[in-house]
């Protein structure tokens, strides 16, 4: 399972990055203003497509995008004990395929850089359990598109989408958290295949499920000692 080995390598790299970021901090702080998480994530597109040939939509032709398991990283900054902003990011490779009556099944593969920025509300903790909700935007940048059975590389337009999320952090001691998170994104893009005359309006609309480990601390403890205590939680 090559993809699993690759995901394990990328997860180890992200874990090393997170550890490196946390190393200067003497101790974790559950009232800190910064939270780093390393996660394993399932990206499950709820995809559909209106496929056209020469500008004419083909009835019964549809498309789908593969589900992938990837390592991800989140960086969260707390403005107050309840309000925070999160950056979620990763790199992923997907396969596109024709479904329904579409005669061509292999529509090509592609890489994606899909950062998501959300504004979050973190509820007050109960016994170390701290749920949160968020809303924001995703930017999906496509690159490294591969050849399809049409004899042409797939081409996808970069796009923005709207994202909602919900999750929780569970304290496990010394600033560390266990985390579970789900996001839903509504995002559309345009696909084309060179000179083939085939185009598609694609609804990607992925579900994004993550579990992982987080570490919370104060940025001021990394870049210099604080002059006064500023608990957020």
pLDDT of residue 27: 60
pLDDT of residue 10: 47
Q: What is the DSSP string of 113-180?
A: E--EEEEEEEPPPBTTEEEEEEEEEEEEEEE---B-TTSSB-EE--EEEEEEEEEEEEEEETTEEEEE
Domain ranges of the chain: 2-221
pLDDT of residue 19: 47
**DSSP-assigned letter for residue 194:** G
pLDDT of residue 166: 98
Class at the top of the CATH hierarchy for domain 2-221: mainly beta
pLDDT of residue 78: 98
Name residues of the chain where pLDDT drops below 70. 1-27, 224-233
């Amino acid at each position: 399972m090559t993809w699993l080995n690759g995901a394990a390598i990328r997860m180890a790299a992200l874990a090393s990055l997170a550890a490196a970021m946390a190393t200067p901090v003497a101790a974790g702080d559950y009232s800190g203003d910064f939270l780093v998480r390393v996660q394993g994530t399932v990206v499950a597109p709820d995809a559909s497509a209106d496929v056209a040939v020469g500008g004419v939509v083909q009835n019964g032709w549809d498309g789908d995008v593969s589900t992938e398991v990837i390592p991800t990283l989140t960086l969260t900054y707390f403005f107050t004990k309840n309000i925070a902003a999160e950056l979620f990011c990763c790199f992923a490779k997907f396969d596109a395929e024709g479904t329904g009556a579409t005669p061509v099944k292999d529509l090509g593969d592609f890489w994606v850089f899909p950062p998501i920025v959300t504004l979050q509300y973190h509820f007050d903790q109960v016994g170390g359990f701290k749920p949160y909700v968020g809303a924001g935007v995703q930017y999906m940048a496509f690159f490294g598109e591969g050849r399809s059975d049409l004899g042409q590389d797939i081409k996808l337009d970069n796009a923005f989408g709207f994202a909602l999320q919900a999750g929780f952090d569970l304290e496990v001691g010394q600033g560390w958290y266990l985390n579970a998170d789900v996001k839903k994104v509504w995002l559309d893009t345009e696909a084309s295949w060179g000179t083939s005359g085939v185009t598609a309006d694609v609804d990607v609309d992925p579900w994004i499920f993550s579990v992982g480990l987080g570490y919370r601390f104060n940025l001021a403890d990394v870049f210099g000692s604080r002059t006064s205590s500023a608990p957020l939680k």
